Structure 1
């Protein structure tokens, strides 16, 4: 058993996640292999989450390139923590997890709509790559997924059960094809066994996070796999982790001041013992999406950083504390605040509606320089030449921060 401080745990997490590391990712696929699942999201006041997750680990990434990688079948799209892009080599795990889909309501719908589903499948099989706009008629007044036309529902059903895959996206529109034409020949199309799936869940979760407790194993792929394997129960997950420790694959870790039992892959123990010597004093801040892999389960940053985060885009405007789509600010190895931004792409302006600086270090001269560099990198990624700062907290820093971008 290894005993470490919470600061050492944070360093390991950020190193393994590719956010603060001497071995940065060198491609989009490298990001997916490193963190396993890149969550897809629709919100676009700034670049969508899958782009930001990738950019923050691979600075040469260009917005939208993830779809080009998917076209080469290096990545594929399916359910994981949510809808995610994942390395194609992990496809057999997704075949295994199909047993949890669809739900009873969808099964009932599929029985009622069997003829339509068969017709849609035959259309794709005969005509090749198909998007929902090219098949069927859109109902008048269509406003979202809840009133999709029946053919779109059929495409999604066939995707969920594995008869179709998303061949690529254009913009944000999905283009489907039959699985046999999308899945590379060298990729196994058979599901993992339960034993293989259990090993995969643990190894990919700990391999992506660096270390974790039972709850991190339970949630990294969302709760369905652990529910199927261990009924989602702490004692059963920890019993399995203990077996892996005894087999020599895992090491138990104690984090000072924390009660939960933590585990890490044996290969990471050297990193824990040697530490991470990344130069951080001049490293630009990173503006993370709320759906980043270290933030999407809100309990994880609360537990590891005491950073309390809530996404407010689903909260009525008058009830919001910080703003619509708040981006946590990662400064050195700490969460130092949050920022509300909107990219006005046509005008080339990054509007920073509000900045909240929450620790002392980022408010120093050096800290503000890191903040400036990080916001400038973020603006450049969005092809914005100008940066407009509106609200700053604490207010005494308003002029100083505005002058950084004058």
Structure 2
């Protein structure tokens, strides 16, 4: 199959439109969440909340008047979404639960191994506690002691709950701030999903699903071993899956100007790409504040190659080693990155402040750009349910 040849600029514009970053989804807030989730499959969950958690920020950049409760109703009340391991810990569609059976079976084998002997001893007790008293977190369990765990010594109660969760015996009922509250899986996962067999019994079918799923999570991606492949399969297996998917017509090969790797898009996106190439799809000049772990930003090397924008998430760096700040969001305007914003929210009076703003080199400010930044700030403030002195913030940005 002859690859579609595109420029880097066209590749960047395609990613923006695919990710829904040029126009808001106006189909209603909950429906817009589901629309995006059905398109990309999953979004990364990170509990850190400086001015909105990562998953919330992902959706806020795409849905006008989005509120965090729109996501959590679908996740913890209506059970249209669920939490589980995909790229890392993610939120994904409940309907995809059966497809992750291989992952849960692998963790179940670990649960039954010698490494989890202490956890197995108390697992029945934990399940009985839930049956009698309802959902629990590690704080409610009268289980003491520590255990050597994957990252460091951990509380036995926490390690046990996580192991039961990842092996499919428990599911997350809700969270209290960042703390997970667990229930029996059969109480959370609908019968049509928890009782469903693995939809990809053959390993090749599973590999094809994993590769196509991750491609759809990003939109345009390559066969290079980039960060976007975290949590999937090895490169040799991915290459074989891409070949099968191309033969079946599920993906289309793409060549990007000046880049040596083989790129692909979902075949369903051919028309959108053609519009980008022909110039029939014009991008709106809106400003978006992007989450650090936004699907669009999953492969920062790719972003640097397509947009000339270098971004590092510096929350885990010591302060004296940071180039910018602790929790800094990239700022996208149309098809260009124009800056970075470091928002903070004061707990005392729930006020949004902009600690820092950095313009990208060579950005030429004009009234239209500044107006778009102001609108993005107003939208962001509404999302947070906070107060803000917008005019003062804009004055500071203008003179940064």
Asked if TM exceeds 0.5, the reply is yes
Question: Larger deviation: 145-154 or 170-179?
Answer: 145-154
Normalization by structure 1: what TM-score?
0.85
Helix, strand or coil: the match of 2:224? helix
State the 1:207 CA deviation. Answer: 2.3
Structure 2: distance between partners of 1:102 and 1:323:
40
Cα displacement string for residues 215-253 of structure 1 (whole angstroms, at most 9, x for unaligned residues):
37x754623x313xxxx33xx423431232222222111
Structure 2: distance between partners of 1:388 and 1:24:
25
1:307-386 → structure 2 map (5 Å cutoff): 307-361=309-363, 363-386=365-388
State the 1:83 CA deviation. Answer: 0.7
**2:245 is equivalent to residue 244 of structure 1:** yes
| Paired position in structure 1 for 2:222 | 213
In structure 2, do the counterparts of structure 1 residues 179 and 362 end up closer, same or farther at CA, with 3 Å as the change threshold? farther
1:156-235 → structure 2 map (5 Å cutoff): 156-187=162-193, 188-191=195-198, 192-193=200-201, 194-215=203-224, 219-220=227-228, 222-223=230-231, 225-227=232-234, 232-233=235-236
Structure 2: distance between partners of 1:3 and 1:163:
48
1:215-294 → structure 2 map (5 Å cutoff): 215=224, 219-220=227-228, 222-223=230-231, 225-227=232-234, 232-233=235-236, 236-275=237-276, 277-281=281-285, 283=286, 285-294=287-296
| Paired position in structure 2 for 1:38 | 43
Do the aligned partners of 1:121 and 1:158 also contact (CA within 8 Å) in 2?
A: no
**2:116 is equivalent to residue 110 of structure 1:** yes
Do the aligned partners of 1:351 and 1:389 also contact (CA within 8 Å) in 2?
A: no
Structure 2: distance between partners of 1:64 and 1:138:
34
State the 1:166 CA deviation. Answer: 0.7
Q: How many residues align?
A: 384
Cα displacement string for residues 174-228 of structure 1 (whole angstroms, at most 9, x for unaligned residues):
2211111211122254333223322222222222322211137x754623x313x
State the superposition RMSD in angstroms.
Answer: 2.9
Structure 2: distance between partners of 1:376 and 1:269:
35
Helix, strand or coil: the match of 1:113? helix
Helix, strand or coil: the match of 2:345? strand
Do the aligned partners of 2:353 and 2:393 also contact (CA within 8 Å) in 1?
A: no
Helix, strand or coil: the match of 1:10? helix
| Paired position in structure 1 for 2:5 | 3
Helix, strand or coil: the match of 1:215? coil
Structure 2: distance between partners of 1:242 and 1:154:
41
Do the aligned partners of 2:110 and 2:116 also contact (CA within 8 Å) in 1?
A: no
Unaligned ranges ≥5, structure 1: none
Do the aligned partners of 1:362 and 1:371 also contact (CA within 8 Å) in 2?
A: no
Cα displacement string for residues 33-87 of structure 1 (whole angstroms, at most 9, x for unaligned residues):
2221121112212111111112112223212432221121100101111111100
| Paired position in structure 1 for 2:134 | 128
State the 1:103 CA deviation. Answer: 9.6
Helix, strand or coil: the match of 2:192? coil
Do the aligned partners of 2:283 and 2:335 also contact (CA within 8 Å) in 1?
A: no
Match of 1:85 among 91, 105, 108: 91
Helix, strand or coil: the match of 2:386? coil
Structure 2: distance between partners of 1:221 and 1:28:
24
In structure 2, do the counterparts of structure 1 residues 105 and 132 end up closer, same or farther at CA, with 3 Å as the change threshold? closer
State the 1:117 CA deviation. Answer: 2.1
State the 1:371 CA deviation. Answer: 1.6
Cα displacement string for residues 100-137 of structure 1 (whole angstroms, at most 9, x for unaligned residues):
53797995441133211221123223433222222125
Structure 2: distance between partners of 1:356 and 1:199:
42
Cα displacement string for residues 130-149 of structure 1 (whole angstroms, at most 9, x for unaligned residues):
22222125789xxxx95653
Unaligned ranges ≥5, structure 2: none
Helix, strand or coil: the match of 1:3? strand
State the 1:268 CA deviation. Answer: 0.9
Do the aligned partners of 1:167 and 1:177 also contact (CA within 8 Å) in 2?
A: yes
Normalization by structure 2: what TM-score?
0.86
Helix, strand or coil: the match of 1:372? helix
